[in-house]
A and B are shown apart, each in its own frame.
Chain A
Amino acid sequence: DQQVKQNSPSLSVQEGRISILNCDYTNSMFDYFLWYKKYPAEGPTFLISISSIKDKNEDGRFTVFLNKSAKHLSLHIVPSQPGDSAVYFCAASGGSNYKLTFGKGTLLTVNP
């Protein structure tokens, strides 16, 4: 049972435009959400996070939106740059443990 879903395996965007990566979750116990970015042959790196008490968190070009009622979050990258081309993983945690559940990832390609 996949509790964190990234339904788009890939996304292609033009440089300078907005990239929107989506993530859905099914476990209502999740209360903390994170995005990680991964380049080939490297480990993932933390990008941005959001707690369930918020509906938006911003860090430079990156903004994460959380819609609790829809169990949906999205990552917006504005403006997109070629260096943003990577796999983006959505992750979630919650409840009484410190497990982290990841989605399958979305490959973002930003074309010059």
Chain B
Amino acid sequence: EAQVTQNPRYLITVTGKKLTVTCSQNMNHEYMSWYRQDPGLGLRQIYYSMNVEVTDKGDVPEGYKVSRKEKRNFPLILESPSPNQTSLYFCASSPFSLALNEQFFGPGTRLTVL
């Protein structure tokens, strides 16, 4: 089944404790992206990647890191999480030719930073 998976789905952590949210897709997509969804703010893009070793900032990259060492994986790293990073996070992927069209989204990761 073609899908985007995220792990963990739920995470409660404390300020300053490094964490990684993994994202993996099995559709051989070139384009991958991370978003956060917050009440009243909608979806905001954090980082995106056009292909292996090619990443770029979205609208809200501060406090986040990403890497794209393999085509299928695009982990989101919070080196020193803070409470304002409490949010619902979505990973998405699409074929490069459709990078701005049909993105396939994962189920989301709900992160709480205490």
Chain A: residues with CB nearer than 8 A to chain B? 6, 32, 34, 41-46, 49, 89, 91, 93, 97-105
Q: Is B58 a contact of A104 with CB atoms below 8 Å?
A: no
Of B13-21, B42-50, B64-72, B73-81, the one touching chain A:
B42-50
Q: Is B41 a contact of A104 with CB atoms below 8 Å?
A: yes
| B interface SS class | strand
Residues of B within 8 A of A45 (CB): 105
Known: A43-B106, A44-B90, A46-B103. A102 touches B56 (CB 8 A): no
Give Cα distance in the complex from A107 to B92, angstroms. 22
Give B110's nearest chain A residue, CB to CB: A41
Q: Is B4 a contact of A49 with CB atoms below 8 Å?
A: no
Give Cα distance in the complex from A91 to B99, angstroms. 13
Q: Is B108 a contact of A43 with CB atoms below 8 Å?
A: yes
Q: Is B100 a contact of A98 with CB atoms below 8 Å?
A: yes
Give Cα distance in the complex from A101 to B42, angstroms. 10
Residues of A within 8 A of B50 (CB): 98
Residues of B within 8 A of A89 (CB): 42-43
Residues of B within 8 A of A91 (CB): 43
Q: Is A98 a contact of B99 with CB atoms below 8 Å?
A: yes
Give A97's nearest chain B residue, CB to CB: B56
B43: which of A32, A41, A44, A49 is its contact (CB, 8 Å)? A44
Q: Is A102 a contact of B43 with CB atoms below 8 Å?
A: yes
Q: Does B107 contact A (CB under 8 A)?
A: yes
A43: which of B40, B59, B107 is its contact (CB, 8 Å)? B107
Query: Which of chain B's residues 83-114 have a Cβ closer than 8 Å to chain A?
Result: 90, 92, 99-108
Give Cα distance in the complex from A91 to B33, angstroms. 14
Residues of B within 8 A of A42 (CB): 107-108
A105: which of B42, B100, B105 is its contact (CB, 8 Å)? B42
Known: A43-B108, A97-B56, A99-B59. A104 touches B103 (CB 8 A): no
